[in-house]
Amino acid sequence: MSDLSYIKRPNRPLQIYAILFLVVLYLPVLFIPLFSFNDSVYVKFPLTGLTTKWYVELWSREPVWNALWNSVKVGAAVAVISTILGVIAARAITRYRLPGKNVLVTFIMMPLVIPGIIFGVALLILMSRLGVPLSLFTVTLGHLIVCLPFAVATLLPRFEGFDKSMEEASADLGENGWWTFWRVTMPMVFPGIVASLLLSFTISFDEFIMAFFLTGTDPTLPMYIWGQLRFPQEFPSILALSALILFVSFFVVFVAQYFGRRGLESDQ
């Protein structure tokens, strides 16, 4: 009984550490939506008043909508391509005996530990040597490098927890590999696919470093925000735009995590 009570006893130091970690991590972020309602151009306490005029101004700014549409196009393309490649990689890693499998997984996950500025400079040099003009296409290539490891990491647990006997039963009933994947495998890993799509889109939508090196004349939304920071009078509107992006990003990530957990729980 004493051992069981020790296991169930809450770990107070760990709880305090977790609370402090969350406060240090998220408290500065919470000041963004707070100051986005400030009536003054300058960020300072106390607030001079509350207003929503900075949000209203965003609706009449065509460059904001153009940058937003660019980010949506790049994010959607990156999400679809990285998820397709992630499905292929996760299935190959979990289903087949590949020589050097651990090396392959390490290679795929390397962008998680290598600074993005390294990839950004390398791709910029490569594109210039190949004569490829900087555009949304080059930004998409850069974002694929960033998002693919997250897609694979999201999909691997789904394929590892997948019951292989379901595919074997489908094969015994006469289905070929293609239809087995669409009728058996796809529905069972679909929550992981949705989670990968949402997570990849969010990461691409918010990514700045790759876009900084690879953007041409059509800026993405993070690049537009960075460019407007040079003008102090634009800062309140940037805070309002950042607050909207913050809320949408949190929502999409939570939905992605929900689908990911829902898929894993359904296998248990």
Tens of pLDDT, residue by residue over 39-74, are: 766 666 676 777 777 777 777 778 888 888 999 999
pLDDT of residue 261: 64
Q: Interhelix angle for 235-266 vs 221-228, to 10°? A: 150
For a pLDDT cut of 70, what percent of the chain falls above it? 78
Assign 177 a pLDDT band (cuts: 50, 70, 90).
low
Q: What is the CATH number of the domain that holds 151?
A: 1.10.3720.10
Residues, the chain = 268
Tokens representing 57? 């101004």
52 in any annotated domain:
no
Pick from 48-52, 160-164, 175-179: least confident: 175-179
pTM for the full predicted model: 0.75
45 in any annotated domain:
no
Identity of the highest mean pLDDT range in 9-23, 71-85, 150-164, 239-253: 71-85
pLDDT of residue 140: 92
168 in any annotated domain:
yes
Range of the domain at 139: 62-266
Residue 171 or residue 66, greater confidence: 66
pLDDT of residue 18: 80
For residue 174, is pLDDT > 70?
no
Indicate the number of domains in the chain.
Answer: 1
pLDDT of residue 78: 94
pLDDT of residue 15: 79
For residue 255, is pLDDT > 70?
yes
127 in any annotated domain:
yes
Residue 39 or residue 149, greater confidence: 149
Residue 41 or residue 205, greater confidence: 205
pLDDT of residue 1: 47
40 in any annotated domain:
no
For residue 179, is pLDDT > 70?
no
Query: What is the C-alpha separation between 47 and 190, in angstroms, rounded?
Result: 47
248 in any annotated domain:
yes
pLDDT of residue 163: 61
Mean pLDDT of all residues belonging to the chain: 78
32 in any annotated domain:
no
189 in any annotated domain:
yes
Mean pLDDT for the stretch of residues 182-193: 76
